[in-house]
Structure 1
């Protein structure tokens, strides 16, 4: 099932963001360090490139991500023109305190009383924008919640006499092109539950963990994972934790929710769902599929024409 989630307020949020971008000096894009590209809204990139605005990419929740994967992502982003990337946790005051200086370095012509630096915080739902906003201002000005799309309107606040912050609602895009991106976003709770099937998302996550972090599954749940697929892993979690339905069958749904929560909270360990290398491979495979489909369709068309 292809996952799509685009609540109505996101359309107006995008229009407002496009207008505000013209009056902004720098974009602070908050990403989920566990899935940086899957959690990067292509519309944000389009808007900032059109306006030629530099970007500070914050790989938030870095304390939940695989350090090796995060290191690779930082190298990937920091090689791009007009981009500075940093990995941190928006819940750590010492990490957040570094951000204003990084922004000034990207827009050195601003940051005075006459020309305050105007910073626009952007990102998809539930990546930590509001947490970042509150930490920068050292007071609670944005509503924070463990549900996507908590913030629904822009707000502008002064960080000091030389810096202004603009907080924006979390924005997804109308069509998620790659099914694996939708599943990664759903697993990381960036998409509302009404748009996903938890069992499908958890099975995807279990398969990913088997391929990349099998030992973390062993350590967390205490059973061997050899010769198991994602479905078998979830069934084993249910039996190990005593999740049973009437009649003794494994409560698959309850085990799915546990696996997702253990990943989201970090109880499973530090996990990244994608790396620059895996991302490149996925895009190449997707391109091959499109090429193959196009060739097949052209072949069918040619055969049809020749037989008519």
Structure 2
């Protein structure tokens, strides 16, 4: 299943972002630390490359990601020219307080009231940009919700005479090339619920957990994973959590169990999980290149 989600407001948001970036000094790209590359919008890279703007990559929700994998991602991003990467949680004031200073190092010429530092906060939907904005400003200036695309318009906020921030709506891109990226984004709640089917995304997630974090499944749900496949995991979750179809003679409600599995991942109830590593990302990219091109009418 190929997941695509590009609501109409994102087209105008991209155009407006391109215009505003001409006035910004540093792009602050908020990523999901559990899937840093899959949650990095290629349109943002194109826009900042065109304007030759440095980028501060914030691996948000780092407290929900596998810490060893996060270290590998930080080293990966630090090798990129014009990029500084840091793992944070936007809910921690001490983490947020570091951001202006880190951004300042990327634009040392913008350091006074005559030339204030201008930051442009960008990222995919539901990655924590609004929480970051509110923490930076120290009051509620952006709507926060657990659904993607809560913010639909751009705003400018002058935090001080030395710092200005532009907040942008969460943006995906028109075509997600690799199906696994779509699955990861859906599992992490970065796309609208009308763009995917819970069971299909939960099956992807269950298969990944079986391969990389089987002990967390056992610890959370109390069943052994040996010999299981992805569908078997969802069935086992349904049995353990009593997910049964009403009036169907005890038939398992796999849709409900899928929702529980996704919720447990999204809330970190399963534990600290990363859905990709730099090496796994490279392997998946190679597989994508090796796939034969699809005819236009099959895309």
Q: Counterpart of 2:224?
A: 224
SS in 2 for 1:80: coil
Aligned counterparts, 1:6-45, within 5 A: 6-45=6-45
1:58 aligns to what SS in structure 2?
strand
Question: SS of the residue aligned with 1:184?
Answer: helix
Determine the structure 1 residue equivalent to 2:261: 259
SS at 1:108 equivalent: coil
- 1:1-308 aligned within 5 A: 1-245=1-245, 246=247, 247-290=249-292
> 2 CA distance for matches of 1:72 and 1:140?
34
Q: Separation in 1 of the partners of 2:198 and 2:242?
A: 19
Shift of residue 289, structure 1, vs aligned partner: 1.6
CA distance in 1, matches of 2:182, 2:241: 28
How many residue pairs get matched? 293
Looking at structure 2, the residues matched to 131 and 162 of structure 1 have their Cα atoms a distance apart, in angstroms, of: 22
| Superposition deviation, residue 111 in structure 1 | 2.2
| Distance (Å, rounded) in 2 between the aligned partners of 1:155 and 1:181 | 29
What is the Cα deviation at residue 242 of structure 1? 1.0
Cα distance in 2, alignment partners of residues 79 and 110 from structure 1: 24
Give the secondary-structure state (helix, strand or coil) at the position aligned to 1:133. helix
Aligned equivalents of 1:239, 1:132: Cα separation in 2: 39
Q: How far does residue 251 in structure 1 lie from its aligned partner after superposition?
A: 0.9
Cα distance in structure 2, aligned partners of 1:241 and 1:163: 50
Unmatched runs of 5 consecutive residues or more in structure 2: none
Under a length normalisation based on structure 2, what TM-score does the superposition of the two structures give?
A: 0.97
How far, CA to CA, are the matches of 1:288 and 1:68 in structure 2? 29
| Matched residue SS, 2:199 | helix
Pairwise CA distance, 1:158: 1.0
Once residues 6 and 204 of structure 2 are traced to their aligned partners in structure 1, the CA distance between those partners, rounded to angstroms, is 22
The alpha-carbon deviation at position 286 of structure 1 amounts to: 1.1
After superposition, the C-alpha distances for 1:137-192 in whole angstroms (9 at most, x for unaligned) are: 11000000000000000000012110000000000000000000000000000000
Counterpart CA distance in 1 for 2:255 and 2:197 is 10
Q: Deviations over 1:216-273 (max 9, x none)?
A: 0000000011111111100010011111113101110110000000000000000000
Question: Which runs of 4 or more aligned residues in structure 1 lie more than 6 Å from their structure 2 counterparts after TM superposition?
Answer: none
SS in 1 for 2:200: helix
Q: Please tell me the root mean square deviation across aligned C-alpha atoms, in Å.
A: 1.0
Structure showing greater radius of gyration is: 1
Normalised to the residue count of structure 1, the TM-score between the two structures is: 0.94
1:71-92 alpha-carbon deviations (Å, 9 max, x no partner): 0000000011000000010000
Q: Residue 125 of structure 1: SS of its match in structure 2?
A: coil
Alpha-carbon distance between aligned partners in 2 of 1:50 and 1:212, rounded to the nearest angstrom: 38
> Which one is further off, 230-239 or 240-249?
240-249
